[in-house]
Structure 1
Amino acid sequence: MFFYVESLSFIFLILNKTCLKAQFEKISAPIHSSFKAFVYENENFNAPWHFHPEFELTFIEKGEGIRYVANSVQKFNAGDFVLFGSNLPHCWKNTLNSESSVKSLVFQWDENLLGIDWINKGEFYHIKNLLAKSSRGIKFNDNVGEAYYNEIVDIMNKPSFEKLISFIQLLNKLALINDYELLSSEHFSGSLNIKANARIDKVYEYIHAHYDKKIVLNDVASLVSMGDEAFCRFFKKSLNKSLFTFVNEYRINVVCKQLIETNKQVSQIAYECGFESLPYFYKQFQKFMNCSPLQFRKNYLNQ
């Protein structure tokens, strides 16, 4: 399960309509530097669903929408603080028609950050365990990002040597924190090739554009030039979940946004988000949110 009622500080939002082809991203560290540390600012998050051999630690300073990490689909907003392992597919897509820009603070580094086999030295035991867990993606809870935001900004502005030492210290501190969740399922395989990534990205785009309508398996399979059975096997193997489980996760995200931002009746929201049966909708909402839609709205308002 990837959605938690306790995470009510998050605003449930939907993907930016623009979705490009998934791709392998080549990352080059600056000259005379062991890793890459930069501030990303733009009108939106325009990177497609992508992967790279480097580890990545990202803090979202501005922005809100949906975060994809392997087979995890979650809402995000400012304060999102995540760590991605090597070759773990991921992307952020911000809110449709958002009037605000986006900003993130990003660190990227390869496995030889401090030289070959550095991670197996005793001094880095905790960091080694942290990076091992990052193969599934780590989402640090809100209070962690808030606590370390000033330190992250300070590291960004340090000279190269001090920046490296401070970054290692930050990783060690994060490694001692238990306030986090693992994002992708344990059996997710991140070894998708570029062709598979491109197919999954097409599916993301299609669901984003058609979640409020009836989604037919054959239509989605045809989109990536596959038969129904072959596509089902491909999707299950790629994301460790069925297409329609994925679709329902997406729709529930949009439902939660509407429950928070509007006074619409629950039934109206359900139908507008593509659910054709109210009993089925309530069953799916309970499955993903562990409460009823009305209780979810009440819990949020009580915050």
Structure 2
Amino acid sequence: METTEIRLFKESNQSFIYHVEERAFSIYHHHPEYELVYIKKGSGVRIVGDNISEFKKGDLVFLGSYLPHVWRCDTVYNKADGTFTGKGYVIQFLEGFIGRQFFDLPENRGLKAFFSHASRGCRFFGKTKKNLVDIILAMQHMNPTQRFYSLFSIFEILATTEEYEFICSPVFRETDHMSESGPMRDVVEFILKNFKEDIKLRDVLEIANMSNTQFFLAFKKMYRMPFKSYLLKLRIGYACRLLAEPNSNISQIAYESGFENLSNFNRHFKAIKGCTPTVYRKKLEKPMVSKP
């Protein structure tokens, strides 16, 4: 699915963008800025990379640089007179907006690691979401200087939190693992090269040089999901890429993604994506143009 690169404009006296979004913008797009989005009012379908899911009031997500996305609100929020009744709060900034060396400081290792993970998009929950939303809403009533320093409070939370889940599948950002080091990096490189085949656990354990228990614990801690779930989401994510091609055959996609049969593929696809491959493709085919 094609994505449009857009240019974001900020005020000349500001180093990053903070604004309240009260207009419909349903073009599938990307930009170099990182983006933090809080949905104050609205619901509909959110497409981020190879993920299609419903969004609703209260959702809070962080998107990495150049990660394609669109929030397509339900028609109830688009009035006949052209007005839009949804509402979202958006913070956008470039990685180097306070100097290239800032994120390389030793104190910012946690933040830099989070930004690497954000290449797949992150959805927050729990206390982390509440704390971030409190800051985002308070920033609306601040002057530019206050907003600037409040952004550092957001960075502090991002650097230490574990209360988030990835939005895109592992295959959508294949370079995400390159920030890791040691045996896990070798394991993921092996998986990315061979996920279409029948991967044997013994081969993975040999690469990791770990026992079953050691490997499963280490993998889950680093990638926030069990090994089998990672492999399954990798295959489904690759299938989503192929489904974006209108002339591709679903049965062939199943085999090319590493599944032994169509029935198994359909079952796992629906469990992860919440719909069948056919319905997923139809959602992609819906027009994505901005409302007049």
Q: What TM-score range do you get, normalising by the shorter chain?
A: 0.5 to 0.7
How far residue 131 of structure 1 moved from its aligned partner, in angstroms, is 0.9
Tell me which residue corresponds to 1:240. Answer: 238
Q: Relative contact order (C-alpha < 8 Å, sep 6+): which is higher?
A: 1
One-letter amino acid matched to 1:36: I
Inter-CA distance 283–241: structure 2 relative to 1 (3 Å threshold): closer
Residue from 64, 72, 86 that aligns with 1:85: 64
1:148 match: secondary structure: helix
Inter-CA distance 135–101: structure 2 relative to 1 (3 Å threshold): same
Matches of 2:70 and 2:270, distance apart in 1: 27
- CA deviations on 1:1-25 (whole Å, 9 max, x unpaired) are xxxxxxxxxxxxxxxxxxxx84111
Tell me which residue corresponds to 1:130. Answer: 114
How far residue 29 of structure 1 moved from its aligned partner, in angstroms, is 2.4
* Alpha carbons 2:50, 2:241 under 8 Å: kept: no
Tell me which residue corresponds to 1:36. Answer: 17
Inter-CA distance 60–126: structure 2 relative to 1 (3 Å threshold): same
Q: How many residues align?
A: 193
Tell me which residue corresponds to 1:158. Answer: 142
User: Which runs of structure 2 are paired with 1:109-258 in the superposition (5 Å)?
Assistant: 109-141=93-125, 144-189=128-173, 240-242=238-240
Matched, 1:66 2:64: no
Matches of 1:244 and 1:187, distance apart in 2: 12
Inter-CA distance 110–77: structure 2 relative to 1 (3 Å threshold): same
How far residue 282 of structure 1 moved from its aligned partner, in angstroms, is 9.0
Scaled by the length of structure 1, the TM-score of the pair is: 0.56
Residue from 106, 112, 129 that aligns with 2:90: 106
Scaled by the length of structure 2, the TM-score of the pair is: 0.58
Inter-CA distance 66–159: structure 2 relative to 1 (3 Å threshold): same
Matches of 1:117 and 1:27, distance apart in 2: 23
* Alpha carbons 1:69, 1:91 under 8 Å: kept: yes
* Alpha carbons 1:141, 1:180 under 8 Å: kept: yes
* Alpha carbons 1:87, 1:190 under 8 Å: kept: no
Matched, 1:24 2:12: no
Q: Stretches of 4+ moved more than 4 A in 1?
A: 242-247, 279-282
How far residue 179 of structure 1 moved from its aligned partner, in angstroms, is 1.1
Matches of 2:157 and 2:91, distance apart in 1: 15
How far residue 287 of structure 1 moved from its aligned partner, in angstroms, is 2.9
* Alpha carbons 1:23, 1:50 under 8 Å: kept: yes
One-letter amino acid matched to 1:29: K
Matches of 2:171 and 2:273, distance apart in 1: 22
Percent of paired sites with the same residue: 24
How far residue 49 of structure 1 moved from its aligned partner, in angstroms, is 0.7
Matches of 2:242 and 2:271, distance apart in 1: 14
RMSD after superposition? 3.3
One-letter amino acid matched to 1:153: L
1:144 match: secondary structure: helix
2:171 match: secondary structure: coil
Matches of 2:3 and 2:21, distance apart in 1: 19
One-letter amino acid matched to 1:168: F
- CA deviations on 1:83-119 (whole Å, 9 max, x unpaired) are 1111000111111344782111001100112112211
How far residue 56 of structure 1 moved from its aligned partner, in angstroms, is 0.5
Unaligned runs of 5+ in 1: 1-20, 192-235, 248-278, 291-303
Matches of 1:287 and 1:246, distance apart in 2: 19
- CA deviations on 1:246-286 (whole Å, 9 max, x unpaired) are 79xxxxxxxxxxxxxxxxxxxxxxxxxxxxxxx99994686
Matches of 2:156 and 2:115, distance apart in 1: 11
* Alpha carbons 2:108, 2:159 under 8 Å: kept: no
Inter-CA distance 190–156: structure 2 relative to 1 (3 Å threshold): farther
* Alpha carbons 1:80, 1:142 under 8 Å: kept: no
